[in-house]
Amino acid sequence: MLGSGDPAVEEQLTAMNASYAGYYNSRIAYNEKLSHLMYAGADFLMMPSRVEPCGLNQLYAMRYGTVPMVRKTGGLKDTVIDYEEESGYGITFEQATTGDMVHAIQRALVLYGNKTKLQELRKRMMKINNSWEARAQDYLQLYQN
C-alpha cells in the first residue's frame, strides 16, 4: 500500500504493518521510484478513488501489464474498460464501498486463476498508446474534420 489520504485510514493501514509482517506493508508517502517498482511487480492495482479528474496511475500500471481495478469515476471510467466487455482489459466497479471492492477482488482472483485470459489482457493493455503524441493526432484529425 503506497500513498496518502484520510488520516484515520492511514493510521489503520500503518497499524496493519506489524500484524501482517511479511504479507502486507504500507508506506504513507509519495515515492515515485517505489511506485514504479510496485507497478512492475504487481498483478493488480486497486484504485477505489472517490474523485479522479484524470488518473495517471492506471495508465502507468497498464504499461507494466498490471491490471487496473478502478471505480467508475472521472478519468478512470474514461481509460479502463472492464475485461468482460469487448476489447476490455481491466476490472471496474461502481462505488467505493467495501462490498464493491471485495467483489472486484473476487473477480481478480478468478481472473488470476485463468492464466491464458490474464496474459491476453496484459498483452492488450500494454499495446495501448496513451501518449500525448497519439492524443495530439486525434485532436488534429478532429479539428481537420
Q: What's the grid cell of residue 10?
A: 492511514
Q: Given this model, what pLDDT does residue 61 score?
A: 95
The CA distance from 71 to 77, in Å, is 7
Contact 95, 71 (CB under 8 A): yes
Give this prediction's pTM.
0.85
What does the pLDDT look like over 3-44, one tens digit per residue? 888 899 999 999 999 999 999 999 999 999 999 999 999 999
What does the pLDDT look like over 90-124, one tens digit per residue? 999 999 999 999 999 999 999 999 999 999 999 99
What does the pLDDT look like over 40-57, one tens digit per residue? 999 999 999 988 888 899
Burial class (CB in 10 A: 0-12, 13-18, 19+), 128: middle
Q: What is the architecture of the domain spanning 43-144? A: 3-Layer(aba) Sandwich (3.40)
The CA distance from 108 to 118, in Å, is 10
Q: What's the grid cell of residue 75?
A: 478519468
Comparing CA positions, the residue from 76, 83, 93, 80 lying closest to residue 119 is 83
Comparing CA positions, the residue from 5, 93, 4 lying closest to residue 44 is 93
What does the pLDDT look like over 67-94, one tens digit per residue? 999 999 999 999 999 999 999 999 999 9
Comparing CA positions, the residue from 27, 36, 24, 37 lying closest to residue 5 is 27
The CA distance from 61 to 68, in Å, is 7
What number of CA atoms fall less than 13 Å from residue 33's CA on the CB side?
0
Domain spans of the chain?
1-30, 43-144
